[in-house]
Chain A
């Protein structure tokens, strides 16, 4: 991630300072602070009901924080109504104006600012051209496909050259194929316009693919803020470890291991070795399926501290994302491991014996 606005006096586009939002006694957003740099693609990732929508509505100006401050380019937005903020939002339902044509949808914001009708129309059609909808200005929004509607919703914001564009799960309503395509397209749009994007989603793959930085949110709080790689490889909390990406998860008693790592004793008595801070208490151990090495011959896994023998209980074929569930003695649940489709094990069948192993570095241990 680069901070493109380093030459400016204000080096952040958005700052939230100890923002809390209470509905009655329930804190939907609980003491959240973060900053977004200019040109950054920042995602807030969390399960439904974690408060991310409330957070976004506060930035847009539809809700007021109970306490804390929201600043855009250093100016506090408290008390500034939604229509006066340099922030525009792409709604989950897109919320295009059905009573207007595509061109009028895009020109709407400009005409609200007092731009003349002719100039607004001109700028709107130029913006439509930039998002690949040249000549669509006269069409009804109801006559567009899902992907085209998406682009109109984004064009309608970008034409106003806002400091910040908020996106509230705009890909949720699209089918899988189009969603994959729009992920890439959104990322490219953001890069071409170099506008700061704040994106909220419950879909970890959307967040991982598009974001420069991700905040993982749970029960109104930020669990961790970091780059997709940081979150994936170095989760700070058990919630992040299990929410971001696929993972194996085991419960056990941790104890400090002699080599500086942590060993976890599973209820069955099996001991596994990993990295973490926990000692002498109930712990959770996480291992990514792709970190688990598979071999038919145990000697191939010779150097690994964690080595077990098991039997394939299911083959989950999904092309490049295929994986195996391996019934392993000592583990309550089957071990999940990525099955490379190019390797010698590609044709493995249910019931086949197999050896699994992983390094201590691949296993993260957290106190519960």
Chain B
């Protein structure tokens, strides 16, 4: 009994960095932003409590259209990433053995040794009008003139899928690895086709991994800034750009804070809906990630 206070103190010390991290870097700024988002400028340097910043969002079509566009594109990017990552993860988890498996995971990881900005600039070098792809198409005679591949939705989606792939592959491969080979064989043995086995055995087994990967990729995509700005240019229209503009260009911090809160609500709502739709709990999903 006499040792209990000592243990408590040790526990407190061990938890302190995490609590400080959460408190100072996550909870406190969000509370600050929440408070800020409800303040309206009534006169120079005079602020009052009000919902004006949120009303502004709903009355100005550009804002909520950008908002909806960001949500829909992010869901699309997540779905595309899932479809692309599934066969890769299946191969890494079920087919590749030993060194090949480690090599493949390393190959997926390799692009992340370079900063996101540099990776995105790399895509720009490939896709711009005077870039590599355009040059090769013209050189091989497939096109008469140079083609601009940048500054459209396709380029934005390409960049975002590329950035999200690893975060989908790792939880998927983890989930698929734990599937017992005999269970798959039993699926075939009892008369299942490849499609039946995939749909009724492999995918349900991988569901926690699918949801975990999707949540991570969706969050990263919704909150991404550099990729839509650089690859989409002025057609990027990502909601984070609006937040940036309010904070930095317009110097309207309360408006930016309201947008930030809305984005947080949006991503939370979509993640919640995704969990409900797939019947997964956040707990099992987090374990998989």
Chains A and B come from one and the same complex = yes
Task: Identify A91's interface contact among B182, B191, B205, CB under 8 A.
Answer: B182
Q: Which residues of B contact A108 (CB under 8 A)?
A: 187, 190, 192, 200
- Asked if A99 and B186 sit within 8 Å, CB to CB, the answer is no
Instruction: Tell me the A residues contacting B by CB distance below 8 Å.
Output: 60-62, 81-84, 87-89, 91-93, 95-100, 108-109, 112-113, 156-157, 160
Q: Which residues of B contact A83 (CB under 8 A)?
A: 188-193
Q: Does B204 contact A (CB under 8 A)?
A: yes
User: Which of A60, A61, A93, A112 is most buried by chain B, counting CB atoms within 10 A of its CB?
Assistant: A112
Q: Does B201 contact A (CB under 8 A)?
A: yes
- Asked if A112 and B192 sit within 8 Å, CB to CB, the answer is yes
Distance between A80 CB and nearest chain B CB, rounded to angstroms: 12
Instruction: Tell me the B residues contacting A by CB distance below 8 Å.
Output: 180, 182-183, 185-193, 196, 200-201, 204-205, 207
A62 CA to B188 CA in the complex, in Å?
A: 9
Q: Which residues of A contact B205 (CB under 8 A)?
A: 98-99
Give the nearest-CB partner of A113 in chain B: B191
Q: What are 30 pairs between A and B in contact, CB < 8 Å? A: A81-B188, A82-B188, A83-B188, A83-B189, A83-B190, A83-B191, A83-B192, A84-B191, A87-B189, A89-B189, A91-B185, A92-B182, A95-B180, A95-B182, A95-B183, A95-B186, A96-B183, A97-B186, A97-B200, A98-B205, A99-B200, A99-B201, A99-B204, A108-B192, A109-B190, A109-B192, A112-B190, A156-B190, A157-B190, A160-B191
Q: Which residues of A contact B188 (CB under 8 A)?
A: 61, 81-83
- Asked if B193 and A88 sit within 8 Å, CB to CB, the answer is no
Distance between A87 CB and nearest chain B CB, rounded to angstroms: 8
Distance between B97 CB and nearest chain A CB, rounded to angstroms: 16
Distance between A293 CB and nearest chain B CB, rounded to angstroms: 49
Distance between B175 CB and nearest chain A CB, rounded to angstroms: 12
- Asked if B201 and A88 sit within 8 Å, CB to CB, the answer is no
Give the nearest-CB partner of B191 in chain A: A112
Q: Which residues of A contact B204 (CB under 8 A)?
A: 99
Distance between A157 CB and nearest chain B CB, rounded to angstroms: 7
Q: Which residues of B contact A157 (CB under 8 A)?
A: 190
Q: Which residues of B contact A91 (CB under 8 A)?
A: 182, 185-186
A91 CA to B186 CA in the complex, in Å?
A: 8
Q: Which residues of A contact B200 (CB under 8 A)?
A: 97, 99-100, 108
- Asked if A97 and B191 sit within 8 Å, CB to CB, the answer is no
Known contacts A82-B185, A112-B196, A93 near B190 by CB under 8 Å: no
- Asked if A93 and B182 sit within 8 Å, CB to CB, the answer is yes
A166 CA to B180 CA in the complex, in Å?
A: 19
Q: Which residues of B contact A99 (CB under 8 A)?
A: 200-201, 204-205, 207
Give the nearest-CB partner of B193 in chain A: A83
- Asked if A160 and B182 sit within 8 Å, CB to CB, the answer is no
Give the nearest-CB partner of A108 in chain B: B190
A45 CA to B28 CA in the complex, in Å?
A: 70
Q: Which residues of A contact B180 (CB under 8 A)?
A: 93, 95
Q: Across chains A and B, which 4 residue pairs bring their CB atoms closest together, nearest first?
A: A109-B190, A95-B182, A112-B191, A95-B186
Beyond the given pairs A84-B191, A95-B185, A99-B207, 5 more chain A to chain B contacts, judged by CB atoms under 8 angstroms and listed by A's residue number, are A91-B185, A93-B182, A97-B186, A97-B187, A108-B200
Give the nearest-CB partner of B181 in chain A: A95
Distance between A15 CB and nearest chain B CB, rounded to angstroms: 20
Task: Identify B190's interface contact among A62, A81, A160, CB under 8 A.
Answer: A160
A160 CA to B192 CA in the complex, in Å?
A: 12
- Asked if B183 and A82 sit within 8 Å, CB to CB, the answer is no
Q: Which residues of A contact B190 (CB under 8 A)?
A: 83, 88, 108-109, 112, 156-157, 160
Give the nearest-CB partner of B186 in chain A: A95
Q: Which residues of B contact A88 (CB under 8 A)?
A: 189-190
A60 CA to B191 CA in the complex, in Å?
A: 11
User: Which of A62, A81, A84, A97 is most buried by chain B, counting CB atoms within 10 A of its CB?
Assistant: A97
Q: Which residues of B contact A93 (CB under 8 A)?
A: 180, 182
Distance between A227 CB and nearest chain B CB, rounded to angstroms: 29
Q: Which residues of B contact A60 (CB under 8 A)?
A: 185, 189
Distance between B66 CB and nearest chain A CB, rounded to angstroms: 40
Q: Which residues of A contact B185 (CB under 8 A)?
A: 60, 62, 82, 89, 91, 95
A91 CA to B189 CA in the complex, in Å?
A: 10
Give the nearest-CB partner of B197 in chain A: A83
Q: Which residues of B contact A82 (CB under 8 A)?
A: 185, 188-189
